[in-house]
Structure 1
Amino acid sequence: MSWLVTGGAGYIGSHVVRALRSSGIDTVAFDDLSSGFRAFVPDDVPFVEGTILDGELVARTLREHEVTGVVHVAGFKYAGVSVERPLHTYEQNVTGMATLLRAMAETGVTKAVFSSSAAVYGTPDVETVVESTPKNPESPYGESKLIGEWLLRDMEVAAGFATTSLRYFNVVGSGEPDLYDASPHNLFPLVFDALLAGRTPRINGDDYATPDGTCVRDYVHVADLAHSHAVAARKLEAGEPLERAYNLG
């Protein structure tokens, strides 16, 4: 038994790799290193460098490592940039998902945990967002994540896949001393870059319905997020039923 983590050398994916190992699941990391780091993957974890758009490589990896399930974290994750690069976003997140699912079907791997996003909801007009809240994504990134969930649903019907999607918003922190967030768009890197440069960190927005006018955002610690992915993988591996989607926050 082993599970493949796509994007396994990235900030979130590398934490998922370690969470899976801590739960007793052998793990294979797959990453094109476009934003990840080879050093994030422990030396004793098999690592395959490549893109999920390469279906032959994905299928070969699944076979050679006797993979029984996939945690799909790989993707283009910058919502703001996705507005400027919609085609790139859809290629990475939608074509990539379809290619991965085809390789899984060809090799008999039918279990998948999808690292989705709360961006599928857009800006809801309700105070509390639950899994059944209407989906209204406002960026190509959010749309691509929702399409990914649809593809998983369709493969459940067509090929008997067992899947779940985990929706979350902003991720912060570090669960290991050697793992860190290197994104140029995320909160902690922006704050620390500003402080190191002697600048005051900038907070956008001054007209929200809050005491100081700044917005309220939901954050989840990356170690908690990784643990949630590992729990979902263990339950799917054990044949336990899961809902198609869960909000994490």
Structure 2
Amino acid sequence: MTVLVTGGAGYIGSHMVLALRDSGERVVVLDDLSTGHRDAVPEGVPLIIGDVSDQALVRDIVAQHGVSALAHFAARIVVPDSVADPLGYYEANTVKTRALIAAVQDAGVGQVIFSSTAAIYGEPEESPVSEEVPPAPINPYGRSKLMSEWMLADAAHVLPLRYVVLRYFNVAGADPQGRSGQSTPNATHLIKVACEAALGKRPGLSIFGTDYPTPDGTCLRDYIHVTDLADAHLRALAHLRGGGDNLVLNCGYGHGFSVREVIAMVKRVSGSDFPVTEAPRRAGDPAALVSRADKLPGLLGWKPRHDDLETIVRHALEWERRRA
């Protein structure tokens, strides 16, 4: 049995490929390399360069490689960009996902792990936020992902399809063995940006909004180590293979850190100071997003190994130093 990983040359997808390989699974990657990197795919793992909405290509991959499950990571993910280019995000994240699901279904693949996001919650009134909170996304990125969740749920009513939707909170860090990390050019993820600033790759960074209703006025986020997230996907795959029901699960640690707290940690771990300026809020940014994270451990037996901001930052810094 082979797992098809779309977006497997990207940040999170490449860590899933590593986790699958480490557990003895066969993997094939489909990626258009628009943001991914060829060298993020381990030697020996087939990499097909192409578009996930190319249904003929997808059906051919399934047939040639004996694919039995899909882990779908390929997407556009930058919230401010989605506000500026909503139609582009609906195309990449919703329309192409619809084509991909149809293609794998046609080819007989009935197990899907879908990469979703906490952005579907918008600005929830309760914190931490549980999976039962009604979705209310405030930006096209979140809406495009929610629409894909709806498609999966609707399709599963009438097709031999079972799925696990994983709603990521803020993913950060890098493979502890140094095999992969965040390499996206012009990345906007806070820990990535702060690490680049600490190593002199950027002149500094900006805090976007200091008047939010949070303890220090800056945005509050739940950061999850990318390796722990990959392990959640492995457990989702085992759940589906065991005949488990469809699930929608938050992926986070259940506690958050502010922008200022993250910057302070990067400065402390790196031993480097760097300029920090204050800027206006960015469109589409909620004040706080922290997960209620009890369903993932309870239903899939997931146990995080890197639930520590210092560890997350240290691994991210080590990756950035390797890329210097």
Question: Could you list the per-position Cα deviations for residues 86-142 of structure 1 after superposition, in whole angstroms to 9, with x for gaps in the alignment?
Answer: 111111111111111111111111100001000110000112211010100111110
Alignment equivalent of 1:187, drawn from 171, 177, 190 = 190
Give distance in 1, aligned partners of 2:207 and 2:44. 41
Report whether the alignment pairs 1:228 with 2:257.
Answer: no
- Is contact 2:89–2:141 with CA below 8 Å preserved after alignment? yes
**Equivalent residue number for residue 29 of structure 2:** 29
State the match for 1:6 in structure 2.
6
In structure 1, stretches of 5+ residues that fail to align are none
Partner of 2:188, secondary structure, is coil
Partner residue of 2:120?
120
SS of structure 2 residue aligned to 1:224: helix
Residues 1:42 and 2:42 aligned together: yes
Contact 2:11/2:180 (8 A) holds in 1: yes
Q: Which amino acid aligns with 2:70?
A: V
Deviates more, 1:36-45 or 1:170-179: 170-179
Aligned to 1:108: 108
Equivalent runs, 1:1-249 vs 2, <5 Å? 1-175=1-175, 176-183=177-184, 184-195=187-198, 196-197=200-201, 199-243=203-247, 245-249=248-252
Note the alpha carbon deviations across 1:225-248, whole angstroms, 9 max, x for none: 1110111012212223342x0001
| SS state at 2:205 partner | coil
For the Cα contact (< 8 Å) 2:174–2:181, is it kept in 1?
yes
Task: Give percent identity, aligned residues only.
Answer: 42
Q: Which moved more, 1:153-162 or 1:18-27?
A: 18-27
Q: TM-score, normalised by structure 1?
A: 0.95
Distance 2:217 2:157 in 1: 46
Q: Are 1:59 and 1:103, in contact at CA under 8 Å, matched by a contact in 2?
A: yes
How far apart are the structure 2 equivalents of 1:230 and 1:131? 20
**Once the 2 structures are TM-superposed, how far is the Cα of residue 205 of structure 1 from its aligned partner?**
2.3
Q: Matches of 1:119 and 1:228 in 2, distance apart?
A: 19
Larger Rg over CA atoms: 2
User: Is the contact between residue 58 and residue 103 of structure 1 (CA under 8 Å) also seen in structure 2?
Assistant: yes
Secondary structure at the residue paired with 1:68? strand
Question: What letter matches 1:124 in structure 2?
Answer: P
CA distance in 1 between counterparts of 2:22 and 2:193 reads 31
Q: How far does residue 202 in structure 1 lie from its aligned partner after superposition?
A: 2.5
**Stretch of structure 1 that moved more, 173-182 or 73-82:** 173-182
Determine the C-alpha separation between the residues in 2 that align with 1:189 and 1:118: 19
- Letter paired with 2:212: Y
Whole-angstrom CA distance in 2 between matches of 1:246 and 1:87: 27
CA distance in 2, matches of 1:211, 1:118: 21
Alignment gaps of 5+ in structure 2: 253-324
Aligned residue for 1:135, secondary structure, equals coil
Decide whether the 8 Å contact of 1:181 with 1:188 is kept in 2: no
Report runs of 4+ in structure 1 exceeding 3 Å deviation.
197-201
Answer with 234-243 or 113-122: which moved more.
234-243
Measured at CA, do residues 163 and 125 of structure 1 come closer, stay the same or move farther in structure 2, by a change above 3 Å? Answer: same
Q: Aligned residue pairs: how many?
A: 248
- Relative to 1, partners in 2 of residues 1:210 and 1:139: Cα closer, same or farther, differing over 3 Å? closer
